[in-house]
Structure 1
Amino acid sequence: MTEPQSADADFRSIRYLADQAFSRSAGAPLTTGNQVELLFDSTQNFPAWLGAVEAAAESVLIEMYLFSDDAFGRRMRAALIDKARAGVQVCLLYDALGCWREHLHGFFKPLRQAGAQVRAYNPINPLRGLALFGRNHRKLLIVDRRQAFVSGLCISSRWEGDPDKHLPPWRDTGVHLAGPVVDEAATAFADSWASCGAPLSLPPKPAPAPPPSQDAVAVRLIATTPTTAHLMRLDLLIASFARKSLWLTDAYFMGTSLYLTALKQAAQDGVDVRLLVPRSSDIGWIATVSRTLYRPLLEAGVRVFEWNGPMVHAKTAVADGRWARIGSSNLNLSSWLANRELDVAIEDEEIATAMEVKFVQDLGQATEIVLKGARRRPALSAPRDIDLAQSVLELMHPSAAARHASAAARQAARISDALGAVVRGTRPVEGSEATSFLSIGLFLLALALLVGYFPYLVAAPLGLALAISGGGIALRALVLIWQRHQRPREHDKDAS
Structure 2
Amino acid sequence: MRLLPRFSPWSVVARLSFSAVLGVLLGALLARGAVSLVLALVPAGQPYVRGVVGTLAAVLSVMVGFGLSGALSTRALPIARLGLSRAQARIRGGIAAGATAGLLIVPVGALMGLAGIYRGGLLGDSFGAGQLTAGLGLVAALYGLLSGGVLGLLTVRARLAWRPAVAGLLGFGAVGLLAGAAAGAVGVPNVLGGGGWVLLAVLASVLALGQVVGDLLIAASIDAATDRGEQDRAHYGQVAATLLVLALALLGIWTVARAGVNFVQSRPSNPVPLAVPVRQNLSTSLGCAAPNDPLELAAWRVTTQNGRPDFSCGNAFLGLLHTPNPDPAFSDVPPTPHGGFDGLAAQMADAKREVLFAVMEWDDEPGRGPGAVLAGGVAQLYEQVRANPAAYPDGVTVRIALGNFPVPVNLDWGPQVYAAARDLLAAGVPLTDAARKWRVEVANYSGTFPHSHAKLLVTDGVDLTVMGFNVGPLHLDSAKNGGYGGNVRDLGVRVRGPVAADGLNVFDDLWTRSSLLSCAPDVTAATVQRACRLGEAAKATHPQGTDQVQIGVKGRERVFSLYRREGFRAADDATVNMIGAATQTIDLMHVSFSMSVGCNLALLNPGLCTFDEALPWMEALADAAGRGVQIRALLYEHGFLGLENRVGLAVLRRELERRGVADRLEARWYPGAVHAKTLLLDGRMLLVGSQNLHYSSWTPRGLNEYTLATSAPAATAGYAREFAFFWNKAQPAELPGWLSGAGGEVD
Query: Which TM bucket (shorter chain)?
Result: 0.5 to 0.7
Residue 223 of structure 1 is matched in structure 2 by 563
How far off its partner does 1:14 sit? 8.8
Q: Which amino acid aligns with 2:671?
A: N
Match in the other structure for 1:42:
324
Report the residue type matching 2:668 in the other structure: F
Using the alignment, how far apart are the partners of 1:429 and 1:284 within structure 2? Answer: 11
Show structure 1 runs of 5+ residues with no match: 1-11, 124-131, 370-427, 438-496
Is the aligned partner of 1:114 residue 2:412? Answer: no
1:308 maps to which residue? 671
Q: Structure 2: state its 5+ residue gaps.
A: 1-288, 326-338, 386-394, 433-439, 515-536, 596-613, 743-747
How many angstroms apart in 1 are the aligned matches of 2:582 and 2:294?
A: 16
Aligned-residue offset at 1:241: 1.4
In the TM superposition, what whole-angstrom CA distance separates every residue of 1:99-125 from its partner, at most 9, and x where no partner exists?
7587179324444862321111026xx
For the pair 1:182 / 2:463, whether they are aligned, the reply is no
In terms of fraction of residues, the more strand-rich structure is: 1
Aligned partner of 1:340 in structure 2 is: 704
Q: Secondary structure at the match of 1:133?
A: coil
Distance 1:261 1:200, change over 3 A: closer
Query: Is 299-308 or 277-286 further displaced after alignment?
Result: 277-286
TM-aligned CA distance change 1:195 to 1:292, over 3 Å = same
After TM superposition, the structure 1 stretch with the greater mean CA deviation from structure 2, 191-200 or 300-309, is 191-200
**Is the 2:294–2:581 contact (alpha carbons within 8 Å) kept by the matching residues of 1?**
no
Kindly report which structure 2 residues correspond to 1:66-81, keeping only aligned pairs within 5 A, or say none.
66-70=361-365, 71-80=369-378
Q: Distance in 1 between matches of 2:312 and 2:617?
A: 27
Q: How does 1:338-377 map to 2 (within 5 A)?
A: 338-369=702-733
Structure 1 residue 135 corresponds to structure 2 residue 417: no
User: Which residue of 615, 631, 636 corresponds with 1:273?
Assistant: 631
Instruction: Provide the residue aligned with 1:62 in structure 2.
Output: 357
Paired AA for residue 67 in structure 1? W
What's the CA shift string for 1:221-248, capped at 9, x where partnerless? Answer: 0121224332222222222211110111
Q: Is 1:91 equivalent to 2:91 in the alignment?
A: no
Change (3 A) 1:82 1:317: same
Q: Percent identity?
A: 21
Quick one: structure 1 residues 65 and 14, their matched pair in 2 at CA, closer, same or farther if it must change by over 3 Å? closer
TM-superposed CA distance for 1:94, in Å, is 0.1
User: Which whole-Å deviations, capped at 9, do the CAs of 1:62-87 have from their partners, x for residues lacking one?
Assistant: 11011112221122234335646855
Contact 1:230 1:336 in 2 (8 A): no
8 Å Cα contact 2:312-2:499 kept in structure 1: yes
* Cα shift readout 1:178-231 (whole Å, capped 9, x = no counterpart): 11111111111112111222431112239657864xx52111101212243322
Answering whether residue 326 of structure 2 is matched by residue 326 of structure 1, we say: no
Aligned partner of 2:475 in structure 1 is 159
1:367 shift after superposition:
1.1
SS of the residue corresponding to residue 696 of structure 2 reads helix
Aligned mates of 1:17, 1:276 — CA distance in 2: 25
Looking at structure 1, the residues matched to 590 and 314 of structure 2 have their Cα atoms a distance apart, in angstroms, of 29
8 A Cα contact 2:498 2:552, kept in partner: no
Distance 1:271 1:119, change over 3 A: same
What is residue 238 of structure 1 aligned with on the other side?
A: 578
Query: Contact between 1:81 and 1:114, CA under 8 Å: does it hold in 2?
Result: no
- Residue 31 (structure 1) aligns with: 312
- 1:120 to 1:322, Cα distance in 2 relative to 1, 3 A: same
Q: AA paired with 1:41?
A: T
Cα distance between partner residues in 1 of 2:667 and 2:497: 36
Instruction: Give the 3 Å change call, closer, same or farther, for CA 360–18 of structure 1 in structure 2.
Output: closer
The structure-2 alpha-carbon separation of the partners of 1:368 and 1:352, relative to structure 1 and needing over 3 Å to count, comes to same
**Structure 2 vs 1, CA of residues 60 and 42 (structure 1 numbering), >3 Å: closer, same or farther?**
farther
Identify the range of structure 1 (168-177 vs 12-21) with the bigger mean alpha-carbon deviation: 12-21
Count of aligned residue pairs for this structure pair = 356
Aligned partners of 1:161 and 1:13: how far apart in 2? 42
- CA spacing shift, 1:49–1:303, aligned 2, 3 Å: same
Shift of 1:98: 5.2
TM-score (norm 1): 0.64
1:246-257 matched pairs, under 5 angstroms: 246-255=586-595, 256-257=614-615
| Deviation of 1:17 (Å) | 9.1
Distance 1:366 1:102, change over 3 A: same
Describe the shift of the 1:345–1:30 C-alpha distance in structure 2 as closer, same or farther (beyond 3 A): farther
Give the 3 Å change call, closer, same or farther, for CA 160–98 of structure 1 in structure 2: farther
Aligned equivalents of 1:351 and 1:90: distance in 2?
Answer: 29
Distance in 2 between residues matched to 1:19 and 1:191, nearest whole Å: 25
1:252: Cα distance to partner? 1.5
Aligned to 1:148: 464
- Equivalent in the alignment of 1:296: 654
Q: Aligned partner of 1:323: which letter?
A: M
In the alignment, residue 120 of structure 1 is paired with which amino acid?
A: N
| 1:349 positional shift | 3.7
Q: Distance in 1 between matches of 2:690 and 2:645?
A: 18
Secondary structure of the residue aligned to 1:220 is strand
Change (3 A) 1:231 1:13: closer
What amino acid is aligned across from residue 356 of structure 1 in structure 2?
A
How far apart, in 2, do the equivalents of 1:31 and 1:96 lie?
30
Q: Structure 2 vs 1, CA of residues 281 and 88 (structure 1 numbering), >3 Å: closer, same or farther?
A: farther
In 1: Cα distance, 2:738 partner to 2:343 partner: 39
For residue 162 of structure 1, report the CA deviation from its aligned partner: 3.2
Residues 9-20 of structure 1 mapped to structure 2, 5 A cutoff: 15=292
Q: In the aligned structure 2, how far is the partner of 1:141 from the partner of 1:258?
A: 28
Post-superposition offset of 1:35: 1.0
CA distance in 1, matches of 2:402, 2:441: 11
* Partner Cα distance (2:452, 2:668) in 1: 29
Aligned 8 A contact 1:66 1:98 in 2: no
Q: Which amino acid aligns with 1:155?
A: V
Compared CA separation, residues 17 and 303, structure 1 to 2 (3 A): closer
Contact between 1:35 and 1:178, CA under 8 Å: does it hold in 2? yes
Q: Would the alpha carbon gap of residues 257 and 174 (structure 1) be closer, same or farther in structure 2, given more than 3 Å must change?
A: closer
Which AA in structure 1 matches 2:706? L
Q: Do 2:364 and 2:416's aligned partners in 1 also have CA atoms closer than 8 Å?
A: no
AA matched with 1:88 = V
- Taking structure 1 as reference, are residues 293 and 75 closer, same or farther at Cα in structure 2, changes over 3 Å only? same
**Residue in 1 that maps onto 2:545:** 204
